[in-house]
Amino acid sequence: PVLPPERRRTVCVFGASALGKPIRDAAHRPELYAPLAAASPDAVITPVMAARVLAAEGGFDVLFINQADVLTGAAAQLRPFADVLPCPVVYGSLARGAWRSL
């Protein structure tokens, strides 16, 4: 996307429901995502893979992982995002209006 130079904060929103699904089924543009992930379009998206793709793309200074309510033990499963990315990582559910920092 085009980002205005005068912006003060850019929040990337990642859907946790993509985790555990093949790139082909979960990524908006699998033909672009797969090479960034160094994986085939049939590979299953893991937290580490997703975090590395987001890091490669960059352009944001906060990550919000939405749909975390679909995960059991969300904090532990999502920890790789905080380990890989050099920015604050927040997870939760926009639909429920709840979130926490990693």
The helix (H) or strand (E) run that includes residue 79 is helix 74-84
Residue 55 lies in a domain: yes
Residue 1 lies in a domain: no
For the entire predicted model, the pTM comes to 0.91
pLDDT at 3 (0 to 100): 82
The count of domains in the chain is 1
Residue 6 lies in a domain: no
pLDDT at 2 (0 to 100): 81
Residue 66 lies in a domain: yes
pLDDT at 34 (0 to 100): 98
Model pLDDT for residues 34-49, shown as the tens digit of each residue: 999 999 999 999 999 9
Residue 5 lies in a domain: no
Query: What angle separates helix 74-84 from helix 47-57, to the nearest 10 degrees?
Result: 30
Read out DSSP for 13-57?
Answer: EEEGGGTTSBHHHH-SSHHHHHHHHTS-TTSBP-HHHHHHHHHHH
pLDDT at 84 (0 to 100): 95
Which residues in the chain show pLDDT less than 70?
A: none
